[in-house]
A and B are shown apart, each in its own frame.
Chain A
Amino acid sequence: MINLNFIWFLIAIIFSSFIEARPVSYPGGLTLMLMNDTDKNSVHAHYSPTSHISLGYKFEYWRENQFTFNGIQMNNLIKRWNKPQSQANLYVKSAIGSAFSDKGKFENKNNISGFLGISTDWETQRYFIAYENRFTEAGKIDRFFMQSIHLGITPYIGNYGDLHTWIMIKATDTSGDNRGMDITPHFRFFKGIHLLEVGANLKGKAMLNYIYRY
């Protein structure tokens, strides 16, 4: 019997048309992402040998099931559409590593773990829209499918090096017990090689993301 999550995953891949911010950098680019959202804390450090691929280390701590993931993540830029006033991208993200949990019945349990998903985005200097999904497999510890849509608008258009301010909202839906839809309004501040996102979901849980790209 085919797993329902897997079917959702395939549907999402087929129908998704928009996505998330720059999982692949320019040739020789180093990126550090520190993400603290309402579900997890994560660190992702990657290197891009070309503008079509990035390889790096990924750490995640999922608070609900108190499980950590340590692994290698690879992101592939499948297609980019460069237009005079906009850019759109389609990426595949994948990771493999080890999951560990010390919660309840999973006391000190280790599992091979990984995830696979796609992300797509379209942005101009004024608007941003992104869609992302991923299926996560961590054996007996956890297994879930999540997808999110991310929208943004900036009240002014700055030039390179200016402080860019975005008003954004992110809606994330995660399968599984005690999970569901999470909506997080937030601000994005972008200047040069620094990107900071600050906000809180509708239940008051904080979100703080930082990206540094060199």
Chain B
Amino acid sequence: MKTPKLIIIILFLIFKNVEANDHKNTKYVYVNGLVCDFCARAFEKTLEKHEAVKNIEVDLKEKVITVNLNENKKLEDSVITQLVIDAGYAVREITNEKK
């Protein structure tokens, strides 16, 4: 019964690959100065204007912005940092996985 095992392994590898690609399309931006809803709104207005950004989610408690990118689009960390500075805030760290 090698075939089912092989199928499971193949499916696992495919799933892992999809998951890895998903991570590549999401950035987690840890921000200083994020203390209120007006701050959160500032990121919606600035980050979501960028063509590479599909949408963002703001977590006020963890002070992190989840930036979901459009398929096949990339956004350099330096560009994200500049957009955050333009909005009036400061980047602490940008990661590909949530801490």
Interface bin, chain A: 20 to 34
Provide the B60-99 mask, 1 if CB < 8 A to any CB of A, else 0.
1101000000000000000000000011111010000000
Known: A84-B63, A157-B61. A213 touches B32 (CB 8 A): no
The minimal Cβ–Cβ distance linking B15 to chain A, given in whole angstroms, is 31
- Among A1-9, A25-33, A138-146, the one that faces the other chain is A25-33
Q: Is the interface of B mostly helix, strand, loop or mixed?
A: mixed
The minimal Cβ–Cβ distance linking B30 to chain A, given in whole angstroms, is 8
Q: Say if the beta carbon of B53 comes within 8 Å of chain A.
A: no
Highest count of chain B CB atoms <10 Å: which of A29, A77, A160: A160
Q: Say if the beta carbon of A62 comes within 8 Å of chain B.
A: no
Q: How far is the CA of A10 from the CA of B2 in the complex (A)?
A: 85
Residues of chain A within 8 A of B45, CB atoms compared: 26-29
Q: How far is the CA of A159 from the CA of B62 in the complex (A)?
A: 9
A to B contact number (C-beta, < 8 Å): 78
Residues of chain B within 8 A of A175, CB atoms compared: none
Residues of chain B within 8 A of A104, CB atoms compared: none
Interface bin, chain B: 20 to 34
Asked if A84 contacts B92 (CB within 8 A), the reply is: yes
Asked if A123 contacts B36 (CB within 8 A), the reply is: yes
Q: How far is the CA of A51 from the CA of B63 in the complex (A)?
A: 19
Asked if A26 contacts B32 (CB within 8 A), the reply is: no
Q: Say if the beta carbon of B52 comes within 8 Å of chain A.
A: no
Q: Say if the beta carbon of A65 comes within 8 Å of chain B.
A: no
Tell me the A71-91 residues at the B interface (CB within 8 Å): 77, 80-87
Residue in B39, B46, B59 whose beta carbon sits within 8 Å of that of A87 in the complex: B39
Asked if A160 contacts B60 (CB within 8 A), the reply is: yes
Residues of chain B within 8 A of A82, CB atoms compared: 31-33, 89-90
Q: Taking CB as reference atom, which chain B residue is nearest A52?
A: B88
Q: How far is the CA of A26 from the CA of B90 in the complex (A)?
A: 14
- Given A86-B35, A87-B35, A161-B37, 5 further pairs, Cβ under 8 A: A26-B88, A87-B39, A123-B36, A125-B35, A190-B37
